[in-house]
Amino acid sequence: MATNEGGAASVVVVGGGIAGLSLCAALRAPGAPRRRVTVVERATRLSAVGSGLVLYPNGIKAADAANPDLGARIRAAGHVPGPGDARPLVAPDGTVLSADPIGGLADRFGAPQVSLLRYALQQALIATTGDAELITGASVDCHSDHGDHVSVELSTGDTIRADLLVGADGVNSRTRRRLFDDGAPVYRGYTSLRGRSSVPRCYPNGVTVAGDGIDLFVAPVGGGRVYWTAKVVAEQGDWPALDAGTALAALLRRIRDWHPPIVDMIRRTDRESGIVITDICDRDPIDDWARGRGVLIGDAAHPMSPAMGQGASMALEDAAELGALLNALPQDVPGALKDFCAVRAPRTAEIVLESRRKGGVDSKASRGADVRARAANEFTTEDERLAGLFGWRPRVWEGTR
């Protein structure tokens, strides 16, 4: 085995995003056995690009379980709603249809909702990865599984020997292609555009807009700023083919008759950080993400639509569970992977399918369906069916199986 002086299995993580860095934080939690952890990230540096995200109570509990310092840093880096705060759901003309009582989540589920910039989350994660080695500007060209270890070949020409390879390289995971070769993810009929702006005065707690062919979600991230995400019915590839300025102008044309404060917020989008454009894809769930000494986590394992806002939280849950297993079973990689998939696959499968069912923007919306009927299917945190989602708690792993 390629273990280090503490006897714990060494790990190579492919991808320095939320899932990969969260696993590093878990493997560097107080009391975790010493091991060598290497992260390989294709980007040359982790920059302040991108938009924001929401971590719901299950995601915050996962961060706390992965590494107590991580949960504290996330709370400090983002916006935590006050006890009475609510996020309105409105029609495009500004008519309030309902209000989501997001301020009550902490009392109900033991942790709050936190909205923050993706870059702020990355910085919180990096601060808790300890002495894990981060190799940037490199990719994994291939790996070989030798039964008792893996050899990981990098684009730099270097080879790393380890006990475990973790694919945390996103929805278009190359690691998944090598492990499973199960085709490309499936486009679900809409595109997400995301940006940052200043807080609209009339929506200090954010807002959700159920429009015709466009849904808009806005959340504060602290410092007088919000992030917004617009989900737009479109043919695959149409919006990603546009540059950021052209896409923003096209979005503004589509919403020009909406409530003026909402239009103005989009118009004031931070041009320096730009907007991020992504065609939304997912995959049918599978029940085993491991092959030999390789395993997938996060979007590489279970990409899902953003309808329930659970992508980042599921990545954190994966990291907390896999990290706990690897820490409890420091030399039993096959056993840890078997238990990990048995616990995580059923839960994530349910959320992938529910997110797909709720969808982003159905085709009827683009033909002018009644917005109140649309609103009835919107994701709200007061839905009692979410108790199993937000009420999640990490399993307590014992040192033996």
Q: Is pLDDT larger for residue 54 or for residue 376?
A: 54
- Tens of pLDDT, residues 308-344: 999 999 999 999 999 999 999 888 999 999 999 999 9
Residue 6 pLDDT level (bands cut at 50, 70, 90): low
Residue 378 pLDDT level (bands cut at 50, 70, 90): low
Q: Which residue has the tokens 């995003």?
A: 17
- Tens of pLDDT, residues 250-281: 999 999 999 999 999 999 999 888 899 999 99
- Tens of pLDDT, residues 345-369: 999 999 999 999 987 564 454 444 4
For residue 318, the one-letter residue type is: D
Single pTM value for the model:
0.93
Give residue 29's Cα distance to chain centre: 21
State the pLDDT at residue 374.
Answer: 53
State the pLDDT at residue 388.
Answer: 87
In percent, the amount of the chain with pLDDT more than 90 equals 84
What average pLDDT does the segment 36-64 reach?
Answer: 90
Q: Which residues of 228-255 are buried (b: 16+ CB within 10 A; e: fewer)?
A: bbbbbbbeeeebeebebeebbeebeebb
> What is d(CA 277, CA 131) in angstroms, rounded to the nearest whole number?
34
Q: Which residue has the tokens 């790990």?
A: 11
State the pLDDT at residue 46.
Answer: 72
Report yes or no: 258 and 92 within 8 Å, Cβ to Cβ: yes
Does pLDDT of 59 surpass 80? yes
- Under DSSP, is residue 368 helix (H, G, I), strand (E, B) or coil? coil
Residue 177 pLDDT level (bands cut at 50, 70, 90): very high
The region, left, alpha or beta by phi > 0 then psi within -120 to 50, assigned to residue 139 is beta
Element containing residue 234 per DSSP (H, E): none
What average pLDDT does the segment 227-237 reach?
Answer: 96
What average pLDDT does the segment 74-102 reach?
Answer: 96
What average pLDDT does the segment 279-288 reach?
Answer: 96
State the pLDDT at residue 363.
Answer: 46
State the pLDDT at residue 270.
Answer: 92
Q: Is pLDDT larger for residue 362 or for residue 158?
A: 158
**CA distance readout (Å), 241 to 190, 267, 279:** 14, 21, 11
> What is d(CA 316, CA 66) in angstroms, rounded to the nearest whole number?
8
Does pLDDT of 131 surpass 80? yes
Encoding tokens for residue 52? 């924001």
State the pLDDT at residue 375.
Answer: 53
- Under DSSP, is residue 254 helix (H, G, I), strand (E, B) or coil? helix
